[in-house]
């Protein structure tokens, strides 16, 4: 019993103090994975079924750009949208910095 408690304590301190998101799979006891296996199987099956139904019911299949929220056939409009999209992302840090510097 003492060994299990020390193992839990070691696991907890490792979880809190280190990069837990990188080492979570190699330090958790196998019992936790076995406990969550049915839930994982059910969620996998539901996810696959939902995605299959979505593709079958809402897809025409093989049409390039059918799932994009903009028209790809007008190249001038596509170029303008791309420029605005990328330009706003690149300009945002500079505009935010300018706003912060001008703030009183």
- 45: its two tokens: 């099956």
The Cα-based distances of 7 to 15, 36, 80 in angstroms read 12, 20, 59
pTM of the model: 0.40
- 81: its two tokens: 């949208």
The Cα-based distances of 94 to 81, 88, 90, 98 in angstroms read 20, 10, 8, 6
Question: pLDDT in tens for each of the 104 residues of the chain?
Answer: 445 566 655 655 555 555 444 445 555 555 555 667 778 888 888 888 887 877 777 766 777 877 788 888 999 999 999 999 999 999 999 999 999 999 97
């Amino acid at each position: 019993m003492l060994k299990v408690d020390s193992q839990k304590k070691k696991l907890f301190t490792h979880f809190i103090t280190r990069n837990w998101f990188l080492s979570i799979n190699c330090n958790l006891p196998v019992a936790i994975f076995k406990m969550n296996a049915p839930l994982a199987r059910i969620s996998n099956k539901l996810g696959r079924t939902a995605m299959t139904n979505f593709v079958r019911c809402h897809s025409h299949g093989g049409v390039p750009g059918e799932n994009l929220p903009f028209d790809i056939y007008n190249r001038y409009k596509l170029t303008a949208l791309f420029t605005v999209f990328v330009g706003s992302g690149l300009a945002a840090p500079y505009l935010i910095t300018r706003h912060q510097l001008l703030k009183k």
